[in-house]
Amino acid sequence: MSGTPVTNLNTGRKMPLLGMGTAAFPLAATELVESSIVTAIELGYRHFDTASVYETEASLGRAISEAIRRGLIGSRDELFVTSKLWCGYAHPDFVLQGLHESLKDLGLGYVDLYLIHFPACLKRTQKSFLVNKDNLLPLDVKGTWAAMEECQRLGLARSIGVSNFSCKKLTGLLAHATIPPAVNQVEMHPLWQQRKLRECCTEKGIHVSAYSPLGGKECLWGSSAVMDSVELKDIAQAKGKSIAQVCLRWAFEQGVSFLPKSFNKDRLKENMEIFDWKLSEEELQKISQLPQQRFFTGEKFVSEDGLFKSVADIWDGEV
Ligand code: A2P
């Protein structure tokens, strides 16, 4: 895992801080996803983020085989691969099946990191991102986490963690955990800086990973507000960098890992060129003052008689 900087997770495993995101909605053509991942490996990316619900696991698996075939990497062990358990599989007796299905699609014997994708449960039939509210069920955190721990014990996931968990939900999970989560993957960019949640995760020894570090403009939940920010543009121009690079450098300087998605060679390259320069105190100060707004609200998980009666319930007030 040479090349870009790495962090040590609480499992003792190393994770490259820069990862390539692979979520796009509407879905991208599988050939494009696959060739972009091979290009990324060629450029030096060693960390890839997928999920069953992104429908990019099979493309990632094929790209890894192709990269090995071309000699770009010696073996799969040189990569860090994350996937996620969708809510339709977040039933204690269905977690292992979810992971087995992901491994089959990926064509791998293990993932480096397996995350509970969202703190909710859906009926087993619900496999897509388009949530039908009638299928919402309360999440059995204790039982589901115990099954995640089993995935780690079996060696099918080298580390386990969560995504979209508030500090309160993490505290609830830790009350039952034998193995604490290694990672909490959450929305994070200059317009949603997650200061409180990051403090909470630091206290608990949980690494924070930033999804949509450029604002996720192409995803269902995203916005172009980050890439259109006048303040970020001013900083980028003064530094001779792009807005994307300022966002990623900022994330790096916060000590989190970050998962920009790009299926374009020039932008994949640009997103790596952030490790040999710094933001000044004054620039960091300006970024810290930007107005804050969560883009992914999780509204589709809210229902009158369900677990979350409002968006505030999902994030426990961290909105
Ligand atoms: P593309 O795949 O065409 O490069 P996020 O990681 O926050 O979800 O943002 C991903 C979006 O940002 C995608 O639309 C991606 O498009 C675009 N993107 C990725 N890198 C850059 C960059 N360096 N400059 C401009 N847009 C970028």
pLDDT digits (tens, 9 = 90+) for 171-190: 999 999 999 999 999 999 99
Q: Does domain 6-315 have CATH number 3.40.50.10240?
A: no
pLDDT of 1 above 60: no
- Phi/psi at 118 (5° precision): -160, 145
pLDDT digits (tens, 9 = 90+) for 284-318: 999 999 999 999 988 889 988 778 989 999 998 87
Does ligand 1 have an atom closer than 6 angstroms to the CB of 254?
Answer: no
β-strand pairing of 183-187 with 20-21: unpaired
* CA 309/CA 316 separation, integer angstroms: 11
Buried-exposed string 117-136: b where 16+ CB fall within 10 A, e elsewhere? bbbbbbeeebeebebeeeeb
pTM for the model stands at 0.97
List the residue whose alpha carbon is closest to atom 6 of ligand 1.
Answer: 260
- 40 against 127, higher pLDDT: 40
Where do the domains of the chain lie? 6-315
71: left (phi over 0), alpha (psi -120 to 50) or beta: left
189 is an annotated ligand-binding site residue: no
List the residue whose alpha carbon is closest to atom 17 of ligand 1.
Answer: 262
Residue 45 has what pLDDT? 98
Does ligand 1 have an atom closer than 6 angstroms to the CB of 269?
Answer: no
Q: Which residues form the catalytic set?
A: 54
Residue 303 has what pLDDT? 86
**Residue ranges of the alpha helices (H) in the chain?**
30-43, 57-69, 95-106, 141-153, 167-174, 195-204, 230-239, 243-253, 265-270, 281-288, 311-315
Distance 224 CA to ligand 1 centre (A): 10
The two tokens of residue 108 are: 């791998």
Question: What is the band of 129 on the pLDDT scale with cuts at 50, 70, 90?
Answer: confident
Q: Which of 243, 262, 265 to mutate to test the pocket of ligand 1 (most atoms within 8 A of CB)?
A: 262
List the residue whose alpha carbon is closest to atom 2 of ligand 1.
Answer: 262
List the residue whose alpha carbon is closest to atom 4 of ligand 1.
Answer: 262
- Phi/psi at 95 (5° precision): -65, -50
pLDDT digits (tens, 9 = 90+) for 59-73: 999 999 999 999 999
Q: Which amino acid is at 179?
A: I
Question: What is the band of 2 on the pLDDT scale with cuts at 50, 70, 90?
Answer: low
CA angle at 141 for the pair 164 and 20, rounded to the nearest 5°:
30
Distance 260 CA to ligand 1 centre (A): 7
Share of the chain above pLDDT 90, in %: 85
